[in-house]
Structure 1
Amino acid sequence: MTAVASARQILTRLHEVMASRTHAQAKLNQVVDIIGEALDSEVCSIYLLREGMLELFATRGLNQAAVHVTRLGVGEGLTGTIAQNIETLNLDEAATHPEFQYKSETGEEKFHSFAGVPIVRRERAIGVLTVQHVEPRKYAEVEIEALQTVAMVLAELIHNAGLVDAEALGQRSEAHSGQEVIEGLRLVKGLALGKAVFHQPRVHIEQTVAEDVEAERERVYLAFDRMREQIDNMAKQAEFGTGGEHEQVLETYKMFAYDEGWSRRINEAIDSGLTAEAAIERVQQRTRMRMREIQDPLLQDRMHDLEDLANRLIRIVSGQLETAAQKGLSQDSVLVAKNLGPAELLEYDKRRLKGVVLEEGSLTAHVVIVARAMGVPVIGRARNVRGKVREGDEMLVDGDAGKVTLRPSSSVLSAFEARFARNKEKQAEYAKLRDVEPFTRDGERISVMMNAGLRDDVGMLAMTGADGIGLYRTEFQFLVSSALPQRERQARLYRDVLEAAKGKPVVFRTVDIGGDKTLPYISSETAKEDENPAMGWRALRLALEREGLMKAQARALLEGAAGRELNVMFPMVAEPWEFDAAKEVFDQQLAHLKKRKHQLPSAINYGVMLEVPSLAETLDLLLPRLSFISIGTNDLTQFLFAADRANPMLAERYDWVSPSILRFLRRVVQNCVGHPVKLGVCGEMGGRRLEALALLGLGIRRLSITPAAVGPIKELIRKVDTREIGQAMSGWLASPPADMRAALQAWAEERGIEVE
């Protein structure tokens, strides 16, 4: 018997039970008999969450005296593990599982096989449905799928009968009424204050068993058509223009909307006897369970896009269409969601949307790319935030610290508002420096450039008055695309960026993928085996291995810069030969274009990122062939200290102004003296005022930093005498103080220079 037929047979009988006038306990007693008979299982039991414990509520096969007596904590035994992890277990020998516990009052010692599925409502386990058998055997996939479908129908019966606690159903208790701080993951920096708005009120499915399967199928077909039409319209109306990264994000989104496998699985769920809404939710429950087993962060993000679409589809089919975006935001708001798709974020009014807080989310998620372009701070991994906040609660979002304050006290609110006001005042002061050239007090002109990765970031050049783009991360275009971007599309992006820069220099870094930036369409067996991907098969190493990738990007950059100056930077160069190999790829493509009489760039300048320490030992060999060097302080620091920057235990342990880092940087500066090579720093270090002061003392005269840091760093530069700080730095590095950071701070304070 197929999974569909098996589930349908059980649901037909369950429908009769649910329609009967008997009380809830009698219905559950009948349910366990129906399931046990249909699956030829000697035991079938239902456990429900009451007062925080899983209580045996009905059973066929276990001792009836154990009903309402046997209780398990969430996480206790096999049943508790299912509820805690919201996962399915299927064991031929239950006693071999590490979480197995024997309850003597049930009389279950003779049963060997065990299978259980969670009973889920509003994404929370409110109970567990289990089956057992004397003979050791794993239950067939057909039987497990039938159990999962039945568990979904049971959730409706249990909810309607009021058999579980309000807490189990996710209803907020009065315990969550005062101020509470939730720590999360910093996804997009910034400060925000607003009222909590739930992105998407959950659609509560009132009927799970279908009266007419064909009618339900027709409802789903119509809903799919409408959803696809919405996605197509959204792609046409995306406010960030055409041809850029946002269009590619929406293309990936569209790919899921037209996925035949997804619609087929929903149809199969309808065939089993579920309503259209229940079928969509059934497929999503299965997807969520599988997502918990996925380790690849990029794949997880793609699955979140599918979750976003499923929510959209279920709203259409149920007629409960309005999200917070469609209702419209009436005041300054902080959006609260489990996760969010990029297309859904684009629907919000940017004037009212002040921040986003997600229970999930990651740095590589598509929605983060869109939020950064919108200038909206985002915090992810805010655990159980939806269970702790009510619609309309005041929320403070500190994207810089990765903290959310719910229902802040008046004192905290006042302090936050004062900080917000100070920030606005300072931003206004920095804005006045937009057209002021950053000269130091002793007349040194410092080049202050900005980092970018999206076409829309280029607009910040005019707003900040930056001297150009010292680091354009070309990999963003690859990260948001579902397939390798075509050469023509790459070239169009590079051309658009140069046009938008209006003559200011742009340094294009060739793709830095691999490591923590995996792409599903570019795999490497070596990369898969990397135990430390940050130091593995990534960046230039991967690009040189994938010759077609490097050739396509080289040609695209040369074509995109036709008639303009082109600056190309190679990442993660460890030895001179790697630079030579990369440049040779560009030389070959240049020769190809010359031969066909294509217009060429007016000039081409090549440079490297110095982030691998070994390169510093061979700089003398490479300097004659370089136009510029950019020190990538983020990676350089982790390589020098052998400290993974993604490890939270090490994140604050090693200081950028420690003597070891500063001495290394000074040596690089000294090695470049006498060579016509522009030496700069790109990365977070240059965007922090105290660290920037240290870099000026070392002789660094070129910084590439985040757009938000341009104003503060220009203001700092105008207060510094480079001869003074250079002399002080020489003394400190010759005989390092116990606390270099404290020494720098004291030096700055004596001269009235703010460094925090």
Structure 2
Amino acid sequence: MPLSAAASAREILVRLHDVMAARSPAQAKLNQVVQIVGEAIGGEVCSIYLLREGVLELYATRGLAEEAVHVTKLAMGEGLVGTIAKNSEILNLDEAASHPAFAYRPETGEERYHSFAGVPVIRRERAVGVLAVQHAEPRAYADVEIEALQTVAMVLSELIANAGLIDGGDVPSRPQSTAPMRIMGLKLVDGMASGCAVFHQPRIVIEHTVAEDTEAERRRVYAAFDKMREQIDRMAAQAEFGGGGEHDEVLQTYKMFAYDEGWARRINEAIDSGLTAEAAIERVQQRTRQRMRQIDDPLLADRMHDLEDLANRLLRTVSGQMGTAAQMGLRQDTILIARNLGPAELLEYDRRRLKGVILEEGSLTAHVIIVARAMGVPVLGRARDIRRQVAEGDLLLLDVGEANVFARPTPAMEEAFEAKLLLKQKRKAAFAALRDVPPVTADGHRVTLMVNAGLRDDVHALDVTGADGIGLFRTEFQFLVSATLPQRERQQRLYRDVLDVAGQRPVVFRTVDIGGDKALPYLNTSAEDEENPAMGWRALRVALERDGLMKAQARALLEAAAGRTLNVMFPMVSEPWEFDEAKALFEAQRAWIAGRGRRPPTGVRYGAMLEVPALAEQLDVLLPNVDFLSIGTNDLTQFLFAADRANPKLAERYDWLSPSILRFLRRVADQAHAAGVPIAVCGEMGGRPLEAMALIGIGIDRLSITPAAIGPVKAMIRSLDRRALRARMAELLGTAPPRTLRADLGAWAVEQGVELA
């Protein structure tokens, strides 16, 4: 009969326990497994496919043709079974043949069956087989049935591994090659470092999956939870960054996950099904990984990474295998390697020895990256398969700026790396010497250089770089690192702290830019149903619809700026009426504050971000109502060219120095100047010296860029003759220009002695 409760999964495990304990051959055991599972599910077919010599071989079946056993084979990615194994994903189909990956194998006789459900058999984070069931009638399998199949798959992984039926799945102790190797990744925290490779933790292999005593397993998990929570509380209390910041909020959010009763309940339910404590934790962890693969929203995925980090810690605790590299101690300068890390795990390492981190996964918004930035540790992410290509003790040369790491370098590579590092340090010192020197061109024109920020700690870059102010403070960062919606008082405290540190220097606060690829689970702003999230329900569109969110932020900003000038900017304005509505909302909150006798700002300056090309067609309507205009070149470029900036096939195709984008920006700048409205560029384009030079050449004299770009851009400005540049830009854009002006502008800069390094 079909499964109806977790207790049915336990009944299956009890029967499987007897099968595993028997001394019969492995093939006989697998034949029994498909009979047991097929009967429990009430389906006509249950099959097991195992990975053998790189292909998935039908190894046992109940319902398919017996002559197909050991004959039917599928490549990884081929058919439904191959898709499950390749992607380590679950398939639950009421009509199997309708799936694009369906591949018919006539020898199996499966044409009689319509519905299909399959789960991967995972061994050491790798799919080594597939367990599948089928029914003659179309039907969707219930969640409890899929859960039971996943639980059985865990037990199967132990059975087939012990029988030696699958290809070896371990990561080799040494990589296949010992030659020098360059491994590419994603820039997460900039910096250069050299050190020996150290793996964060050994893989914990679960040897026993079926519980003998459920209550004993439950007690082990409870004890492990208590011990893990004590460790995290202690680490959070001992973490020292100085001055507070978002990393403190990250740790508080991380602690909240550790005390999450829902997570503990899911592990308990897995124990109820008959799994050991270790297997139950791994079972829930596998479910988390599968959910992560289905999540397009990077912020929600980052929170799932935190939960997986805690699961790793809990698994080590309950198994007694506590030996991470942090506990064992770092003996030399180290580059740490991990699939992923949680913020608390990073804090365990000796900061004197930890020189850098390389992750197989990771993203810019992950909690561990915020903590790493506060620690000053460079991090490279998305370094695919690095744990298979690098061995413990290998020398690594990490250059996050170039998004790569060299493993086992030759002496010549080491020498070149050290020379670059020394040069970078000298350049950094030279740029630091420009801190108090104004960004004035060689012909006496003053350019305004401001920094982009989003974290409380970023504000200190004003003093380090000598920037004129903060041209873009991304207020959404506080929302993204929080597990719940930040209360108005907490928002107000952040904004006031930022203004206090900035002093007399202006700060432009951008209202929350959420939605799209920056979803907040607690506000249900996920873009999973949107085909193109970048052009969807996000930024000001969300804020105007969820006006309670914007009202709270408006009050927080207005109260934080009491007695000072508040500069506020609205993101992704598509038409002037959106700006008008947002401004009216702020003005209503301003009147509310004044009506209650609270001290208001001395003045409020309202600005709009031009990211949507449509707004440029109504500048004559918009400009009389705004105090300033900022161009967000990142989104503007992809909208203008209809090119997704995250698509690698298009990444190099559309250049910021294309005549199209430069002509567009020049037209906007000319209109803003004619209306007497200050205009700035606050996108990544302004942080690159050559691109910044082009912007100055078309009349844009205000740039808001990353703190690291202030020195190089200031050096460029001070070596530049603006009048000569403007004449050259007019000449280049007035003729039939090439696809990009990059080569022409680069040659002109060299000829004129403009510093672009």
Q: Same fold (TM over 0.5)?
A: yes
TM-aligned CA distance change 1:436 to 1:139, over 3 Å: closer
Q: Which residue of 1 aligns with 2:481?
A: 480
Alpha-carbon separation, structure 1, partners of 2:624 and 2:67: 87
Bigger drift between 204-213 and 736-745 goes to 736-745
- Which whole-Å deviations, capped at 9, do the CAs of 1:59-86 have from their partners, x for residues lacking one? 5666766655554333334443332232
Bigger drift between 298-307 and 63-72 goes to 63-72
SS in 2 for 1:521: helix
Is the contact between residue 270 and residue 279 of structure 1 (CA under 8 Å) also seen in structure 2?
yes
Is the contact between residue 297 and residue 518 of structure 2 (CA under 8 Å) also seen in structure 1?
no
1:348 counterpart = 2:349: yes
**How far is 1:685 from its partner?**
1.6
1:262 counterpart = 2:258: no
TM-aligned CA distance change 1:173 to 1:48, over 3 Å: farther
SS in 2 for 1:445: coil
Q: Which residue of 1 aligns with 2:167?
A: 165
TM-aligned CA distance change 1:643 to 1:86, over 3 Å: closer
**How far is 1:234 from its partner?**
4.1
Q: Which residue of 1 aligns with 2:84?
A: 82
From 120, 126, 129, the equivalent of 1:127 is 129
SS in 2 for 1:592: helix
1:661 counterpart = 2:661: yes
Coordinate RMSD, CA, aligned? 3.3
Is the contact between residue 610 and residue 616 of structure 1 (CA under 8 Å) also seen in structure 2?
yes
Is the contact between residue 241 and residue 375 of structure 2 (CA under 8 Å) also seen in structure 1?
no
TM-aligned CA distance change 1:729 to 1:34, over 3 Å: closer
Is the contact between residue 184 and residue 405 of structure 2 (CA under 8 Å) also seen in structure 1?
yes
Question: 1:238-637 to 2 correspondence within 5 Å?
Answer: 238-240=239-241, 244-523=245-524, 531-637=531-637
From 148, 169, 190, the equivalent of 1:146 is 148
Alpha-carbon separation, structure 1, partners of 2:590 and 2:197: 55
Alpha-carbon separation, structure 1, partners of 2:537 and 2:111: 52
What is the letter of the counterpart of residue 451 of structure 2? M
Alpha-carbon separation, structure 2, partners of 1:232 and 1:198: 25
Is the contact between residue 309 and residue 341 of structure 2 (CA under 8 Å) also seen in structure 1?
yes
Q: Which residue of 2 aligns with 1:716?
A: 716
Alpha-carbon separation, structure 2, partners of 1:92 and 1:506: 56
Alpha-carbon separation, structure 2, partners of 1:36 and 1:353: 52
Is the contact between residue 300 and residue 520 of structure 2 (CA under 8 Å) also seen in structure 1?
no
Q: Which residue of 2 aligns with 1:652?
A: 652
What is the letter of the counterpart of residue 263 of structure 1? A
Alpha-carbon separation, structure 1, partners of 2:134 and 2:622: 70
Q: Which residue of 2 aligns with 1:213?
A: 214
TM-aligned CA distance change 1:136 to 1:578, over 3 Å: closer
Alpha-carbon separation, structure 1, partners of 2:618 and 2:258: 52
Is the contact between residue 124 and residue 170 of structure 1 (CA under 8 Å) also seen in structure 2?
no
**How far is 1:11 from its partner?**
2.8
Bigger drift between 199-208 and 381-390 goes to 381-390
What is the letter of the counterpart of residue 484 of structure 1? L
SS in 2 for 1:292: helix
Q: Which residue of 2 aligns with 1:740?
A: 741
What is the letter of the counterpart of residue 557 of structure 1? L
Alpha-carbon separation, structure 1, partners of 2:726 and 2:274: 77
**How far is 1:185 from its partner?**
3.6
- Which whole-Å deviations, capped at 9, do the CAs of 1:258-317 have from their partners, x for residues lacking one? 332322221122122221111111122233233333333333232222212211111111
From 7, 11, 14, the equivalent of 2:13 is 11
TM-aligned CA distance change 1:390 to 1:661, over 3 Å: same
What is the letter of the counterpart of residue 125 of structure 2? E
Q: Which residue of 1 aligns with 2:157?
A: 155
Is the contact between residue 373 and residue 457 of structure 1 (CA under 8 Å) also seen in structure 2?
no
- Which whole-Å deviations, capped at 9, do the CAs of 1:227-283 have from their partners, x for residues lacking one? 233334444444456874334333433333233232222112212222111111112
**How far is 1:170 from its partner?**
4.0
What is the letter of the counterpart of residue 474 of structure 2? R
- Which whole-Å deviations, capped at 9, do the CAs of 1:293-346 have from their partners, x for residues lacking one? 333333323222221221111111112223333333333333322233233334
Q: Which residue of 2 aligns with 1:639?
A: 639
TM-aligned CA distance change 1:210 to 1:615, over 3 Å: closer
Alpha-carbon separation, structure 2, partners of 1:714 and 1:669: 21
Alpha-carbon separation, structure 1, partners of 2:492 and 2:506: 17
Bigger drift between 189-198 and 206-215 goes to 189-198
What is the letter of the counterpart of residue 718 of structure 2? R
Alpha-carbon separation, structure 2, partners of 1:530 and 1:46: 36
SS in 1 for 2:450: strand
Alpha-carbon separation, structure 1, partners of 2:355 and 2:263: 34
Is the contact between residue 129 and residue 151 of structure 1 (CA under 8 Å) also seen in structure 2?
yes
Bigger drift between 417-426 and 340-349 goes to 340-349
TM-aligned CA distance change 1:681 to 1:209, over 3 Å: same
What is the letter of the counterpart of residue 704 of structure 1? S
- Which whole-Å deviations, capped at 9, do the CAs of 1:12-61 have from their partners, x for residues lacking one? 34334444555545554554555556556666554332222334445566
Is the contact between residue 6 and residue 143 of structure 1 (CA under 8 Å) also seen in structure 2?
no
TM-aligned CA distance change 1:606 to 1:109, over 3 Å: closer
**How far is 1:710 from its partner?**
0.8
**How far is 1:431 from its partner?**
1.4
- Which whole-Å deviations, capped at 9, do the CAs of 1:688-712 have from their partners, x for residues lacking one? 1111222222333322110101111
SS in 2 for 1:553: helix
Alpha-carbon separation, structure 2, partners of 1:583 and 1:140: 50
TM-aligned CA distance change 1:127 to 1:631, over 3 Å: closer
What is the letter of the counterpart of residue 359 of structure 2? L
Is the contact between residue 240 and residue 456 of structure 1 (CA under 8 Å) also seen in structure 2?
no
- Which whole-Å deviations, capped at 9, do the CAs of 1:162-210 have from their partners, x for residues lacking one? 33232x3444675343344444444444444333332232222122222
Is the contact between residue 43 and residue 59 of structure 1 (CA under 8 Å) also seen in structure 2?
yes
Alpha-carbon separation, structure 2, partners of 1:511 and 1:93: 43
**How far is 1:713 from its partner?**
1.3
Alpha-carbon separation, structure 2, partners of 1:9 and 1:638: 55
Bigger drift between 356-365 and 28-37 goes to 28-37
What is the letter of the counterpart of residue 434 of structure 1? R
TM-aligned CA distance change 1:252 to 1:219, over 3 Å: same
Q: Which residue of 2 aligns with 1:727?
A: 727
Bigger drift between 203-212 and 227-236 goes to 227-236
Is the contact between residue 609 and residue 632 of structure 1 (CA under 8 Å) also seen in structure 2?
yes
Alpha-carbon separation, structure 1, partners of 2:55 and 2:577: 65
What is the letter of the counterpart of residue 558 of structure 1? L
SS in 2 for 1:360: coil
Is the contact between residue 243 and residue 489 of structure 1 (CA under 8 Å) also seen in structure 2?
no
Structure 2: gaps (5+ residues): none
Is the contact between residue 53 and residue 72 of structure 1 (CA under 8 Å) also seen in structure 2?
yes
SS in 2 for 1:744: helix
Q: Which residue of 2 aligns with 1:681?
A: 681
**How far is 1:375 from its partner?**
4.0
1:698 counterpart = 2:680: no
Alpha-carbon separation, structure 2, partners of 1:13 and 1:327: 41
Alpha-carbon separation, structure 1, partners of 2:39 and 2:619: 77
Alpha-carbon separation, structure 1, partners of 2:147 and 2:668: 63
Alpha-carbon separation, structure 2, partners of 1:129 and 1:537: 39
Alpha-carbon separation, structure 2, partners of 1:540 and 1:532: 17
TM-aligned CA distance change 1:617 to 1:197, over 3 Å: same
TM-score by length of 2: 0.90
What is the letter of the counterpart of residue 324 of structure 1? A
Alpha-carbon separation, structure 2, partners of 1:632 and 1:289: 35
Structure 1: gaps (5+ residues): none
Is the contact between residue 737 and residue 743 of structure 1 (CA under 8 Å) also seen in structure 2?
no
Bigger drift between 330-339 and 612-621 goes to 612-621
Bigger drift between 532-541 and 423-432 goes to 532-541
Is the contact between residue 340 and residue 360 of structure 2 (CA under 8 Å) also seen in structure 1?
yes
